[in-house]
A and B are shown apart, each in its own frame.
Chain A
Amino acid sequence: MSIQRVRRLVPWIAAAAVLAACSGPGSDEPAKTESPGGQGKLESVAVVTHGSAGDAFWNVVKNGAEQAGKDLDVRVDYNSSGDPGQQAKLIDNAVAQGVGGLVVSMANPDALRSSIEKAVAAGIPVITINSGENDSAKYGAVTHVGQSETLAGTNAGKRLADAGKKKLLCVIHEAGNIGANQRCDGATKAFGNGSTLQVDINNPTDAQARIKGAVEADRSIDAVLTLNSQVAARAVDAVKEASSAATIATFDLNSDVVEAIKAGKLLFAVDQQQYEQGYLPVVLLKLYQTNRNTLGGGAPVQTGPAFVDKNNVEAVAALVSRGTR
């Protein structure tokens, strides 16, 4: 190596030295610059979820949060990204804006850890929703509002087993969603005999074809469990096309699911009442900021599982089309 080459390397070595001198990995040190909102008042809440834009499920969460904002006179900003790194940056963004309260869904808790801890250290109360129940308190969140996925899956599996079914196919529609896996794990464990199928929620044609293929290839499958209302409708069509006699059940509601339950094509829907996951955190944050209230000593608030079947489907039908169920 010539002298010139070495000389050329000097700036990079210097840069490396600077890097080595700074704080450790992932330890975003919180900047305690601004006290948000001011105690005794809640002006704004940022809701940052992992739902993709245009997802029917998350639309209901958004509606809930926005309605709570209107009812309580709090400014609610909703943002989302399915990419955990991007979601972390959205949280950082909310902290930089100095919001009065933060609502976060944690599909990938590890990735959000330092961002959430930074928010907590900056004095912003955080409430986690939907997924991430186990890590919520650890990261300093006030409480968690959601449904235990494994428990919901277990209950769904039990109900299908009670209906006398013998072989279960559990359809996963998002490859990176840990909650979806927990549901299927819970369901297959409680049911006893089951397998999973991976489909892509962004490609309904493909999803329907794959479910059809699966029930055609194995005629002994007599129960199909989908984890999303849009996929449920595809499963109903797929099973019909394959002339299979399989019973279908799903997680989450939409108008198609309501119609299918009415028509007896779907046995039941597990409803986690996600409107509450949008609405309640804003209420809880308001009470926390204005009155220092917490609920149940910070224990997770369960919004589900509730079951919608033939017996109660009429009551919720109108609410589904209104975007609140």
Chain B
Amino acid sequence: MTVATPVSEQSSEVAAGPSLLHRILVRPEVGAALGALLVFVFFSVITERFLSPMGIANWLDDASTLGIMAVAVALLMIGGEFDLSAGVMTASTALVTALLAVHAGWNVWAALLVSLLLALAVGAFNGWLVMRTGMPSFIVTLGTFLALQGLNLGITRLVTGTVQVAGIRSAPGYESAGSVFASTLKIGGTSVQASVIWWIVLTAIASFVLTRTKFGNWIFAVGGSLPSARAVGVPADRTKIILFMTTAFAGWVVGSCMILRFTSVQANQGIGLELHYIIAAVVGGCLLTGGFGSAVGAAIGALIFGMARQGIVFARWDSDWFMLFLGVLLLAAVLVNNRFQKRAERVRR
């Protein structure tokens, strides 16, 4: 934890901005919020059950695990890097937890701790290798992605003889661990998944760190211009390594939510999701080039994704066209977003 500094880059700029309207418009997440509102209203109008308590719980659930990852990925992207191993990481951590708890007979909490340590180690390795070699993180984490994918399948088949690990429900410590990661909360007659709470809490923490701490300034600095950041004494290596460890941590949270909720995990889970995280972060106002974006924006990006994905099903459209609908909706949300982002960029850069 770094010491909080009340005067961040943003607030000093905000103070310079003249009107309230202008101050709102330069926020990176405003466009995303408008996009989300558009998608929300659209499906609320054209479908019956989208706005019912069960319907809301359904799309929040879908958005939550994506959102947990998208927020961490957004921090990393603001810091100027990508993590392609993030999707597979959710399966790796779940598999390690499940294998230790089911096949080695460990307490679930101990298994969770070990999978957390492994995740953080992989994250640190990613960060260290990127900083050490100067290679693009796109390449480094692509390597980790492939390696983890192979390990997931290879080890699972080696230990279990099949491609799924199931049966964690009867492992010691399942009840208490499960209540943290996979319980449901009754709100107004419908049950909300624990992952939704995790999503909100982690978004709040990420947002706080990004906008109110010195570390947050370092993230913007290393993503904006690495040489200048180094020149003014920002510990760039440490910052980036911590960011890679943050996405790995988020992968562990999502992996833990999945294994404890679904009580089984299959070896090929999570492949391809890394792109969804990046899309959510971009829809939420992060720049692919780094140095700009927000955690709340990424969370809203995930919300758009979740609402669109479940809304299409609520609308009962033919699933053959599902990806087309999703693509068009996302493009529409991005276009709305883009108008506002352009304004914001002009002010920022």
Interface residues of A (CB under 8 A from B): 5, 12, 15, 18-20, 22-29, 31, 33, 53, 77-80, 83-86, 88-90, 92-98, 108-114, 174-178, 181, 198
Let me know if B319 and A80 touch, CB within 8 A.
yes
Let me know if B269 and A19 touch, CB within 8 A.
no
Let me know if A96 and B49 touch, CB within 8 A.
yes
Contact of A26 among B163, B260, B313 (CB under 8 A): B260
What's the nearest-Cβ distance from chain A to residue B20, in Å?
A: 27
Closest 6 CB pairs of A and B: A25-B178, A110-B264, A111-B262, A176-B266, A176-B268, A96-B54
14 A-B pairs within 8 Å (CB atoms) are namely: A15-B201, A25-B181, A26-B260, A29-B191, A33-B189, A77-B316, A84-B264, A92-B54, A92-B58, A97-B316, A176-B266, A177-B163, A178-B164, A198-B153
Let me know if A26 and B49 touch, CB within 8 A.
no
Question: Contacts A20-B179, A198-B153 known; A53 to B319 CB distance under 8 Å?
Answer: yes
Contact of B262 among A84, A177, A181 (CB under 8 A): A84
User: Is B310 an interface residue when CB atoms closer than 8 A count as contact?
Assistant: yes
Let me know if B175 and A25 touch, CB within 8 A.
yes
- How far, in whole Å, are A79 and B313 apart by their CA atoms in the complex? 8
Let me know if B182 and A25 touch, CB within 8 A.
yes
Contact of A108 among B1, B53, B177, B266 (CB under 8 A): B266
0/1 per residue, B262-273, Cβ < 8 Å to A? 111011110000
Contact residues in B for A88 (Cβ distance below 8 Å): 262
Question: Contacts A175-B163, A176-B266 known; A96 to B55 CB distance under 8 Å?
Answer: yes
Question: Contacts A25-B179, A85-B258, A90-B313 known; A108 to B264 CB distance under 8 Å?
Answer: yes
- How far, in whole Å, are A324 and B57 apart by their CA atoms in the complex? 37
User: Is B29 an interface residue when CB atoms closer than 8 A count as contact?
Assistant: no
- How far, in whole Å, are A26 and B260 apart by their CA atoms in the complex? 7
- How far, in whole Å, are A15 and B169 apart by their CA atoms in the complex? 25
- How far, in whole Å, are A33 and B182 apart by their CA atoms in the complex? 23
What's the nearest-Cβ distance from chain B to residue A254, in Å?
A: 18
0/1 per residue, B130-168, Cβ < 8 Å to A? 000000000000000000000001000000001110110
Residue of chain B at shortest CB distance from A49: B319
- How far, in whole Å, are A31 and B55 apart by their CA atoms in the complex? 12
Contact residues in A for B322 (Cβ distance below 8 Å): 53, 79
Contact residues in A for B263 (Cβ distance below 8 Å): 26, 110-111, 113
- How far, in whole Å, are A235 and B57 apart by their CA atoms in the complex? 46
- How far, in whole Å, are A29 and B164 apart by their CA atoms in the complex? 26
Contact residues in A for B314 (Cβ distance below 8 Å): 93, 96-97
- How far, in whole Å, are A28 and B166 apart by their CA atoms in the complex? 19
Let me know if B191 and A31 touch, CB within 8 A.
yes
Contact of A27 among B49, B183, B268, B323 (CB under 8 A): B183
Let me know if B183 and A19 touch, CB within 8 A.
yes
- How far, in whole Å, are A88 and B258 apart by their CA atoms in the complex? 11
Contact residues in A for B194 (Cβ distance below 8 Å): 19, 22
What's the nearest-Cβ distance from chain A to residue B16, in Å?
A: 28
User: Is B65 an interface residue when CB atoms closer than 8 A count as contact?
Assistant: yes
Contact residues in B for A23 (Cβ distance below 8 Å): 183-186, 191
Let me know if B163 and A178 touch, CB within 8 A.
yes
Question: Contacts A23-B191, A85-B262, A181-B162 known; A15 to B197 CB distance under 8 Å?
Answer: yes
- How far, in whole Å, are A190 and B1 apart by their CA atoms in the complex? 60
Let me know if B191 and A175 touch, CB within 8 A.
no
User: Is B225 an interface residue when CB atoms closer than 8 A count as contact?
Assistant: no
Let me know if A96 and B178 touch, CB within 8 A.
no
User: Is B174 an interface residue when CB atoms closer than 8 A count as contact?
Assistant: yes
Let me know if A93 and B313 touch, CB within 8 A.
yes
- How far, in whole Å, are A12 and B238 apart by their CA atoms in the complex? 26
Let me know if B175 and A24 touch, CB within 8 A.
yes
Contact residues in B for A113 (Cβ distance below 8 Å): 262-263
Contact of A175 among B65, B153, B174 (CB under 8 A): B153
Contact residues in B for A98 (Cβ distance below 8 Å): 49
Residue of chain B at shortest CB distance from A12: B201
Contact residues in A for B258 (Cβ distance below 8 Å): 85
- How far, in whole Å, are A5 and B2 apart by their CA atoms in the complex? 11
What's the nearest-Cβ distance from chain A to residue B166, in Å?
A: 5
What's the nearest-Cβ distance from chain B to residue A196, in Å?
A: 9
What's the nearest-Cβ distance from chain B to residue A302, in Å?
A: 23
Residue of chain B at shortest CB distance from A96: B54
- How far, in whole Å, are A77 and B258 apart by their CA atoms in the complex? 26
Q: Most chain-B CB neighbours within 10 Å: which of A19, A25, A113? A: A25
Question: Contacts A84-B262, A98-B49, A111-B264 known; A29 to B197 CB distance under 8 Å?
Answer: no
Contact residues in A for B264 (Cβ distance below 8 Å): 84, 108-111
Question: Contacts A26-B260, A31-B189 known; A178 to B162 CB distance under 8 Å?
Answer: yes
Contact residues in B for A114 (Cβ distance below 8 Å): 261
Given A22-B186, A109-B264, 12 additional A-B pairs, CB 8 A: A12-B205, A19-B194, A25-B175, A31-B191, A53-B322, A84-B269, A85-B261, A92-B54, A92-B58, A97-B314, A111-B262, A176-B269
Q: Most chain-A CB neighbours within 10 Å: which of B153, B191, B201? A: B191
User: Is B347 an interface residue when CB atoms closer than 8 A count as contact?
Assistant: no
What's the nearest-Cβ distance from chain B to residue A227, in Å?
A: 13
User: Is B52 an interface residue when CB atoms closer than 8 A count as contact?
Assistant: yes
